[in-house]
Amino acid sequence: MNISLIDIGSNLTHDSFAADRDAVIARALEAGVRRQIVTGADSTSSIQAAALAAAHPLILSSTAGVHPHHAQSFDAPLREQLCNLLQLPHVVAVGECGLDYFRNFSPPEAQRAAFVAQLEIAAEVRKPVFLHQRDAHGDFAAILRDYRASLTGGVAHCFTGSRSELEDYLALDLYIGVTGWVNDERRGQHLREAVPHIPADRLMLETDAPYLLPRDLLPAPKSRRNEPAHLPHIARTVAHLRGESFDALAASTTRNAERFFRVNAGTAMLTG
């Protein structure tokens, strides 16, 4: 199979992968997903993601950060830990960081403080930010505007917003990460309408596995667990919505991810 895709957001440290993580990685390679960026969302997952990437340097990289749900845990020792992780060459971005007012598992003021702190870290270590936003667009965009000039880059992870939100993010020179949300014609209609308007040099693909299993995937796994091997299915939907060939979309999104994260999709092959 001559496919080369990069999944810019997989949560391989999630407990649902504990029993078969190696098989999940193997299936992704067989499907043409040549590299995954493993998401760090708190202290523990950032450490675990970095260890996974170190163990599989040809096919995995990672991020290190604190999701807004965990913003209350952000303190000076955690900041130092993130800075240390981000010195590692296989830890390629700061995050997942941002704002989430949908659930407010951490108070908004704590979220904003942790977000600003991580933007400052990103400026210090000269690595891009892997961004999360839900029901907080105004504050999120305003904070980013204040710091954007000092950042090497940013990607709106799991973008599900409207055309106007897309335009705001493009004005901030962000990349746009699209997940299997685009495969849901009910919840994902805004995204499906926005996808054709994402510039080709700003678009990247992700599964957010084990979350966001594409609704139209057949046969659907009984576990309802998403995994990186499903990225080509998402890519075909995105290509169709954009009126592009699958090959053209795969080439451009992979090129974007390589440039953004400073990685290579590689030519890793399965062995054994």
Residue 271 lies in a domain: no
- The residue among 122, 118, 115 whose CA lies nearest residue 101 is 115
Residue 236 lies in a domain: yes
Q: Which helix (DSSP H) or strand (DSSP E) does residue 14 occupy? A: none
Residue 114 lies in a domain: yes
pLDDT of residue 267: 44
Residue 266 lies in a domain: no
Residue 174 lies in a domain: yes
Domain that holds residue 105: 5-261
Residues 6+ apart with CB under 8 A from 171: none
State the total domains in the chain: 1
Residue 267 lies in a domain: no
Which value, to the nearest 10 degrees, does the dihedral of the CA atoms of residues 242, 213, 36, 196 take?
A: 10
pLDDT of residue 270: 32
pLDDT of residue 98: 98
What is d(CA 209, CA 211) in angstroms, rounded to the nearest whole number? 5
What are the CA-CA distances from residue 186 to residues 176, 182, 239 (Å)?
A: 21, 10, 19
pLDDT of residue 2: 79
pLDDT one digit per residue (tens) for the chain, 272 residues: 578 999 999 999 999 999 999 999 999 999 999 999 999 999 999 999 999 999 999 999 999 999 999 999 999 999 999 999 999 999 999 999 999 999 889 999 999 999 999 999 999 999 999 999 999 999 999 999 999 999 999 999 999 999 999 999 999 999 999 999 999 989 999 999 999 999 999 999 999 999 999 999 999 898 999 999 999 999 999 999 999 999 999 999 999 999 999 998 764 433 32
Which CATH number goes with the domain that contains 190? 3.20.20.140
Residue 20 lies in a domain: yes
Residue 272 lies in a domain: no
